[in-house]
Amino acid sequence: MVEQHPPQAPDRRAPVFFLSYAETPRRDWVRQFFEELSDHVAELMGFPASGDVGFMNVNMGAGRVWSKELAFAVGHCSVFVALLSPRYYTSEWCAREWHAFASRLPDNILAPEDTAMLPVIWTKKGVAAPAMIDRLQRFQPIPPPDGIERRYGREGVYGLRVRQLESSDYDMVVWRLANEIADLAERLHVPSKVATDFEGLPGAFEEEPS
């Protein structure tokens, strides 16, 4: 389990959270989600409005590289937010981001809670999550008002975004997620570790042989 510590002043040199997501035709929605989440976290933690509270890799697609900026972000962020989807489970890039952060945890053992890794349902349909992801508790918008937990669990953030014009569920999930990120960032300490050998990181969500 990640070491818990009393509240400290935030380290403004590093992002509070790292957003890990798979390539998607609706990257504009991911970007909007990231910006709204960042605004809430900045407000909750007292960061300047112009500060970079979160990190989102915008260099997706062919030819992308493991940049120093990305390596620093995943190596120093306080919370790792993974947007779960069928594409995420099969993405070599996402797996390497996941393993880069997981390697910072003591003995690389992922407890079901308090790991500072926050899996968020982006889309629900498709293949089952790999075991190492499934072992972690999914983010849940607690307390769940008016059935929002059921709708989030059934449709994911993407589905709530599609229905945003007829429901405020999406906004509520983003707000509750921001609170969870701020709480983890203030309560837990994950030692920094920058992965310099991107190709050496596992490119799949598979358990290490014992």
CATH code for the domain of 68: 3.40.50.10140
- Residue 143 sits in which domain range? 3-192
Let me know: does 61 contact 23? Beta carbons within 8 Å.
Answer: yes
Let me know: does 138 contact 119? Beta carbons within 8 Å.
Answer: yes
- The model's pTM is 0.82
User: What pLDDT was estimated at residue 120?
Assistant: 96
Closest Cα to residue 80, out of 112, 96, 102? 102
**Is residue 200 domain-resident?**
no
H-only helix segments in 54-134: 68-76, 86-89, 92-102, 131-134
**Is residue 90 domain-resident?**
yes
**Which has the minimum average pLDDT: 24-33, 94-103, 157-166?**
157-166
Amino acid at 105: L
**Is residue 183 domain-resident?**
yes
Higher-confidence residue of 93 and 172: namely 93
**Is residue 55 domain-resident?**
yes
- How many domains is the chain partitioned into structurally? 1
**CA 173/CA 59 separation, integer angstroms:** 26
What are the Cα distances from residue 110, in Å, to 137, 148, 178, 189, 205? 11, 28, 22, 14, 13
**Is residue 199 domain-resident?**
no
**Is residue 154 domain-resident?**
yes
**Is residue 208 domain-resident?**
no
User: What pLDDT was estimated at residue 6?
Assistant: 45
**Is residue 197 domain-resident?**
no
Q: Is residue 97 pLDDT above 50, yes or no?
A: yes
